[in-house]
Chains A and B, each alone.
With several copies, the nearest count.
Chain A
Amino acid sequence: MTDERRTDYGPPHYERFLPPIIKENYGKWKYHEVLKPGVMVHVSESGAHLYSVRAASSRLLSIEKIRAYCDLADKYCGGYLRFTSRHNVEFLLSDAKNIDPLIADLKKLGHPVGGLQNSISAIVHTQGWIHCHSAATDASGVVKAVMDDLLEYFTEMKLPGKLRIALACCLNMCGAVHCSDIAILGIHRRPPRVDHENLHKMCEIPNVSASCPTAAIRPAMVGGKQSVEVLEERCMFCANCFTVCPSMPLADPLNDGVSIWVGGKVSNARHEPMFSKLAIPFLPNNPPRWPEVTEAIRNLVELWAKNARKYERMGEWIERIGWPKFFRMSGIEFRKEHIDDFKHAGLTFKRSTHLTF
């Protein structure tokens, strides 16, 4: 490292990227209204009106597309735009007249406008087969298939409340699916196949053993080499061993797939935040369109949409009606897999007679 080398300067200051209307009204917003799908106005104490137009984005973007966004921003709003915490793109307009032309241009570009209020916004997701070594399913492909199917719920606001979908391609849950209305989670179902040949070169055996939460891994000599063996009946496929040691791969075309989770939420609105819970233990990886997954999700969305009360998130609805009723209404088979058997399992047993029949 030379002395002159510039490090630790951090990101550019955000003020450089704020349009004048925001700088002027920073912290002075009074209220907002959703004008139509994907379009809202924020009104300031000063009377200023800021129009935001939200468009769907695939998150995986080429620089060509980013440049196209920039062109639109230059054309309609002084070059200012932003991305949301769910990876949509938003254009920040001071002039209401620009809204419709912008929307038209976005549509031309293939980016529908929507995702506000009682709609399904973009799916928070991860790398999948595009980039990660851990993936039990693809990310972008599943997301594309699901959102193609649910598009109407992005472009219209006809749901009882917000519905947030997330996807993570393995149990590391980079997509933070653990608190989503509907979560898609890639899972392995075959214990690691130990690469006895290379393990001793790549990994520290004590670390590998220690990495297993269920103590399924123990040191062993195999074919004259120091390695480990896996007590397969103890494995619950967390892949923590693989994270620690490349010689313990779990990925397997026949057994990998997807599980579906429901009822999580993040916001504190009404109900406290909740974790997602297992709905469908396993669906196959069926590229390119994962039809079993898209169908399962559409069914869940529509069941909720039809039965939930206004503002009631998926988890709030299920909590009101009870899980037995959810299983009966959804037609999902309840199995041993649904019953928790991890650390705090006992706390998930039904310890009352509050039952519906």
Chain B
Amino acid sequence: MAESLPKTPMLDELEKGGWPSFVKEIKLAAKKSPMAVDLLGLLERSYKEKIGHWKHGGIVGVMGYGGGVIGRYNDLPEVYPNISHFHTIRVNQPAGWFYKSDALRSICDIWEKRGSSLTNMHGSTGDIILLGTRTEQLEPIFAELSKVDFDLGGSGSDVRTPSCCCGMARCEWACYDTMRTCYDFTMKFQDELHRPAFPYKFKFKFSGCPNDCVASIARADMSIIGTWRDSIQMDKAAVTEYAKNGMDIQSEVVDNCPAKCMDWDGKELHIENSYCRRCMHCINVMPKALRPGKDRGATILLGSKAPIVEGALLSSVLIPFIKMEPPYKELTDIIDRIWELWCEEGKNRERVGEFIQRVGLGNFLEAIEVDPVPEMVAHPRENPYVFYEEYFEAGDEGSEEEEK
């Protein structure tokens, strides 16, 4: 059915070796898809010339949505006409990337008919990426996806597709229900997700514990990371068991505790929980003996992003501990206030983390009506340059503060 494959001696090299080969995937697709055939040719050319052949995408999309499609055109449409358009569609993955085969197959069927037959499972933000189709296919694809209950993900200056770790579905350490929360937030912010109206993108990522298996603290404007407030649950017998089975509890566990709050006398393990930093290390190493406490919730952090252009950021603490239970009103109210402020005062292409740095965390907190707490800082200021906003006036006799 598809055209004969172009000669791709360089790419063919990448069919060898033990790691799954993306070239094989393109060739698999190329059995049926002329788009995949042209992609092979174009990619081989890039390998020879050491340069890409894609142009800036124009604005393409589906009716009523501002995001979800990345427009893409190649710069040699005469040579590679089948991929003269090669737009990707971002499809909002199910929380935790769990699938049943029938659902996956239904997507494959649509994509076989209307696209390149190539995908990314998944994109870096978490979406199902349908890799390459033509403008005129966008509406039909959306209509068919809709029939099998898949909606588009985010792109542009909107809420980006939230993602989460598998959490309670498969992990003993989940301190809140990441998948449920991810789903609930995705649903609550459908409008913000599909219709870019922010200064720039806004990403949510949900991790069930400080191991942060979705890299939330590094890659989300709002990072929701599970934690606990009370003491680590310990099964003393299981600790003894680990020791008996050869674990060197002093060097493997105690010496690696960043809080230096553990003590092992060769028989009993003691944790001074009021100093514990909830780093997870001891729990990670002795999953049968130690577990997060019972009073569980999440730490909310704000602002991580890649470096363009002010330098990369990790998220920083906004709420040290919050219970994560529907309807999450306290948190979503804060989110509303953050967005309101950022939409009003943020510059174009200024992520929320950059915005906070520009206006100052103290001012930001005042504006969103959150009290400052020491958990928000790694340490208090080192410089003495405090902007006091008020001062005493002579006649006050020191008794009253006056606004300037």
Contacts and interface: CB of A to CB of B under 8 A. Distances in A.
Contacts of A233: 387, 389, 404
Contacts of A82: 96-99, 166
Interface string A200-221: 0000000000010100000000
A33 B281 CA distance: 16
Interface stretch (A94-102, A296-304, A337-345): A337-345
Interface string A228-250: 00001111111010010010000
A135 B18 CA distance: 26
B22 interface: yes
Contacts of A324: 320, 373-375
B172 A10 contact: no
Contact of B392 (A60, A255, A350): A255
A108 interface: no
Interface in A179-212: 179, 185, 187, 189-191, 211
Contacts of A11: 92-95, 149-151, 183, 186
B261 to A, nearest CB: 9
Interface in B100-144: 100-105, 107-108, 111-112, 117-122, 124, 126, 131-132
Contacts of B392: 190, 254-255
A170 B210 CA distance: 29
A252 interface: yes
Contacts of A80: 98-101
B54 A266 contact: no
B384 A269 contact: no
A79 B380 CA distance: 48
A42 B357 contact: no
Given A343-B311, A349-B316, A9 B149 contact: yes
Nearest to B9: A288
A339 B372 contact: yes
Interface stretch (B44-52, B323-331, B334-342): B44-52
B215 A14 contact: no
A213 B99 contact: no
Contacts of A18: 98, 169
B389 A129 contact: no
Contact of A259 (B119, B172, B384, B393): B384
A299 B211 CA distance: 27
B168 to A, nearest CB: 4
A126 to B, nearest CB: 6
Contacts of A141: 11, 14, 22, 47
B11 A269 contact: no
Interface in B306-330: 306-317, 320-321
A56 interface: yes
A67 B236 CA distance: 47
A352 B137 CA distance: 44
Given A64-B29, A124-B124, A289-B13, A268 B118 contact: no
Contacts of B49: 253
Interface in B147-162: 149-151
Interface string A275-318: 11111010001011100000000000000000000110000000
Contacts of B388: 189, 236-237, 337
A65 B171 CA distance: 27
Interface in B206-220: 210-215, 217-219
A339 B368 CA distance: 16
Nearest to A136: B52
A190 B391 contact: yes
Contacts of A288: 10-11, 13-14, 47
A350 B377 contact: yes
Given A131-B54, A341-B361, 17 more contacts: A5-B64, A8-B190, A11-B95, A69-B104, A79-B100, A87-B122, A124-B124, A144-B22, A148-B19, A176-B218, A213-B309, A238-B308, A266-B212, A326-B374, A340-B361, A342-B311, A355-B320
19 contacts: A9-B151, A17-B99, A29-B170, A59-B121, A110-B21, A128-B52, A140-B22, A243-B308, A263-B379, A268-B277, A272-B258, A324-B374, A334-B372, A340-B381, A341-B381, A346-B357, A348-B379, A353-B227, A355-B278
